[in-house]
Amino acid sequence: MNDIDLSEKHDLSIAIMNLVNLEEHLAFTAMKTKKEEYLHVQASIRKMRVRLLKKLVKNTEGELWCISKHLLATTMRLIESSTKYIEKDPKQAKELIEDAYDVYTLFWFLQQDERINKRNS
């Protein structure tokens, strides 16, 4: 991962995490309220997320597209989960943040692998 400039695409990856999170919340809100308009908003958010994710995920070999999306989603969910433990169990909060960082690193590792494959072709 030495030749990846994470600062260049870091903000975009965080934005994509939030879009995935929005998709999830809109789906549950649609089911809880029985209001279909939330599904229409979810569809719009999904289109944006797909467009932006294409800027980060170039290698779609096998299931790498979905794996990449789920790694970002997992990172966001672990970060959110850790905030719930900050006051009552700081050790647990720290462990969850460490897990989030590890998952996020795996996302970037997969993107690096794509660059290595391009160099070897």
Amino acid of residue 113: D
In 2-63, which residue ranges form alpha helices assigned H by DSSP? 6-33, 37-56
The mean pLDDT value of the chain amounts to 90
Is residue 62 left, alpha or beta, with left meaning phi > 0 and alpha meaning psi from -120 to 50?
Answer: left
Residue 8: φ, ψ to 5°: -65, -40
Task: Output the pTM of the full model.
Answer: 0.83
pLDDT tens digits, one per residue of 21-76:
999 999 999 999 999 999 999 999 999 999 999 999 998 888 999 999 999 999 99
Cα three-residue angle 17-18-22, rounded to 5 degrees: 120
Query: What tokens does 24 get?
Result: 């999830």
